[in-house]
Amino acid sequence: MHAGPKFSELTTVAIDAVRQAGAILRKGFGTNYKIELKPGIQNYVTEYDYASEKLIIEIIQNHYPSHSFLGEECGSIPNDNSEILWIIDPLDGTTNFAHHIPLFCISLGAYNHKEMVSGVIYQPITDELFVAEKGQGSYLNGKRLQVSNTVSFKGGMGATGFPRNIIENPLHCIDHFINILKTGTIIRNIGSSAINLAYVAAGRFDAYWAISLHSWDIAAGKLLIEEAGGKMTTYLGKEYDVLSNAPIVATNSLIHEELLSFLKLNV
Ligand code: IPD
Ligand code: CA
Ligand code: CA
């Protein structure tokens, strides 16, 4: 299987790291793993989240000993000599993984001078490798990706997710969901923000919107979407900073304004 065109060394290292970490997750999936609860509601972490992250960092450090990292489980590992920050979600969809549901992935992105330069998302069970490099396009298992050409969200298919404190209706997310649901749009909640973003890039979903995400959930997906012709902004339509943790709207770009109109912060 081909990963795409001739990518930079940075992207090639990222591909190698997610494939190797993916093999660990694939092997462990469905076994009797150790599960811990992190602070918050049903916020799980398994021994495989840690194992995947450790391996990814080791592989990258072997090539680039002075690079910096921001990982979901390890936090920030800064290095003053580095221009590159690797943003890692070693297992996105941990709740699915913990429930033996095969919908999870690894998300790994390289950030340089305030922009994403490489992004890879790997689904180990389906063996789907999504790769984007700045200026080179987005690919799924070597095939160029293009976002969907749906022009009205009302006839489309989107995805969202709910924060763990949904009961508090933060940022009116329940109201937004109901308003969009009432348009008749098909909406999925599959439990992995990175897969949702990869699917928007692949044209499988027309849009994804969510609040309470972190840099590691969205970094690689942002580049995948943009390189496939889509758009990702805040709920106010502003340019998205991957280090901001702001609410995100990601679309095929054609329906962006329409979806934004449903996501006004005050309903
Ligand atoms: C979670 C997933 C989920 C999203 C949550 C994330 P994790 O990541 O991406 O789709 O709704 O907000 O925390 O914990 O499985 O890496
Ligand atoms: Ca995540
Ligand atoms: Ca995770």
Q: Structure pTM?
A: 0.96
Nearest to 158 by CA among 256, 31, 37, 60: 256
Residues 6+ apart with CB under 8 A from 82: 64, 66, 67, 68
What ligand 1 atom has the least distance to the C-alpha of 92? 16
Q: Do the two domains 9-144 and 157-263 of this chain adopt the same fold?
A: no
* Tens-place pLDDT, residues 187-244: 999 999 999 999 999 999 999 999 999 999 999 999 999 999 999 999 999 999 999 9
* Tens-place pLDDT, residues 108-137: 999 998 999 999 999 999 999 999 999 999
Cβ atoms of residues 194 and 91 within 8 Å: no
Cβ atoms of residues 124 and 25 within 8 Å: yes
Q: State which of 44, 106, 192 you would mutate to test the pocket of ligand 1, scoring each by most atoms of that ligand within 8 A of its C-beta.
A: 192
* CA-proximal residue: ligand 1, atom 13 (nearest): 213
Domain at 157-263, CATH from 3.40.190.10, 2.40.30.110, 3.20.190.10, 3.40.190.80: 3.40.190.80
Q: State which of 36, 72, 92, 108 you would mutate to test the pocket of ligand 1, scoring each by most atoms of that ligand within 8 A of its C-beta.
A: 92
The pair of structure tokens assigned to 6 is 């001739």
The alpha carbon of 6 and the centre of ligand 1 are apart by a number of angstroms equal to 31
The alpha carbon of 159 and the centre of ligand 2 are apart by a number of angstroms equal to 15
Point out the ligand nearest to the CA of residue 99.
1
DSSP class per residue in 161-199: ---TTGGG-GGGHHHHHHHHHTTT-EEE--S-HHHHHHH
The alpha carbon of 229 and the centre of ligand 2 are apart by a number of angstroms equal to 24
9-144 is classed CATH 3.30.540.10: yes
Beta bridge partners of 209: 160, 249
* CA-proximal residue: ligand 1, atom 12 (nearest): 213
Nearest to 202 by CA among 123, 266, 261: 123
For the chain, the structural domain boundaries read 9-144, 157-263
